[in-house]
């Protein structure tokens, strides 16, 4: 459970970085950074959800 909470804190920190990225004056850099942050947040959340479902009785079996 501690690892899940740490991952969620990581997502929170990535989301906080979005404010900085939004102010980036270079449109192409901003687009690339937003894509990277979005992918990282997605991967972390997917991992947390999958791990949580495995611990819940009757939860979704791993894909």
Residue-level pLDDT at 27: 92
Residue-level pLDDT at 28: 94
- The whole-angstrom separation of Cα 19 and Cα 13 is 11
Residue-level pLDDT at 61: 55
Residue-level pLDDT at 6: 81
Residue-level pLDDT at 32: 92
- The whole-angstrom separation of Cα 21 and Cα 49 is 26
pLDDT digits (tens, 9 = 90+) for 17-60: 888 888 889 999 999 988 988 888 888 888 878 877 887 666 55
């Amino acid at each position: 459970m501690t690892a899940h909470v740490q991952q969620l804190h990581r997502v929170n920190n990535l989301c906080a970085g979005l404010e900085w990225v939004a102010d980036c004056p270079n449109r192409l850099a901003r687009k690339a950074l937003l894509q990277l942050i979005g992918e990282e947040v997605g991967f972390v959340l997917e991992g947390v959800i999958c791990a949580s479902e495995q611990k819940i009785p009757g939860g979704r079996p791993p894909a």
